[in-house]
Amino acid sequence: MTKEWQVRFRVNGNSVMVSVPPMTSLAEILRQQLGLTGTKIGCNNGECGACTVIMNGKAVASCLVLAPQVAGADIRTIEGVGGDKALHPIQQAFLDEGAVQCGYCTPGMVMSAVALLEENPNPGEAEVKDAISGNLCRCTGYQKIIRAIRHYAAGR
């Protein structure tokens, strides 16, 4: 029986241990317990992709991961991709293409892009579209985002 769930896992290379109320999602742990607010909660329903993180190498919706499922897992969030001083080149590509407006979708988009590029360093247009099909953007539109990912892949 547990009043709180104790969960140990790795975030961006660091081992962490949290104690959370039952039914807490990974997205809530990241934002509320660990202060990693780059991961956004949009729909809290698996539909918008704003909460996308990389769990054991795969892009997942962190709003649909229950806290104890993360025990022992390796999680990467947008904070582990680049920093203020040194953007990850895929982030730079988003800037160069003007693929960011309000920015709410951007962390999720970047995580989906990173997961894609690690699996497939040279994706075609259809593969890029498939990879971000679970990420909604309400302001930029998708063309610039697709272009940013493709330019980054082509330029490496």
Ligand X SMILES: Cc1cc2nc3c(=O)[nH]c(=O)nc-3n(C[C@H](O)[C@H](O)[C@H](O)COP(=O)(O)OP(=O)(O)OC[C@H]3O[C@@H](n4cnc5c(N)ncnc54)[C@H](O)[C@@H]3O)c2cc1C
Residues that bind ligand X (CB under 6 A): 46-47
SS3 94: helix
Phi then psi dihedrals of residue 68, to 5 deg: -70, -15
- Using CB under 8 A, which of 83, 102, 124, 130 touches other proteins? 130
User: Considering the complex, what minimum distance in angstroms separates the CB of residue 44 from ligand X?
Assistant: 11
Closest CA to 79 of 151, 13, 146, 8: 13
SS3 85: coil
Task: Pick out residues in 107-136 that bind ligand FES (CB under 6 A).
Answer: none
| 60 interacts with, out of ligand X, ligand FES, other proteins, none, CB within 5 to 8 A per kind | other proteins
Q: CA gyration radius for the chain?
A: 16
User: Does 10 participate in binding other proteins (rule CB under 8 A)?
Assistant: no
**Closest to ligand FES by CB, 18 or 60:** 60
55 in Cβ contact with 46 (< 8 Å): no
**Closest to other proteins by CB, 1 or 86:** 1
Specify burial of residue 53 (Cβ count, 10 A radius: 0-12, 13-18, 19+). buried
* Positions in the binding site for other proteins (CB under 8 A): 1-3, 5, 22-23, 25, 44-47, 49, 52, 58-61, 63-66, 68-69, 71, 112, 115-116, 130-131, 133-135
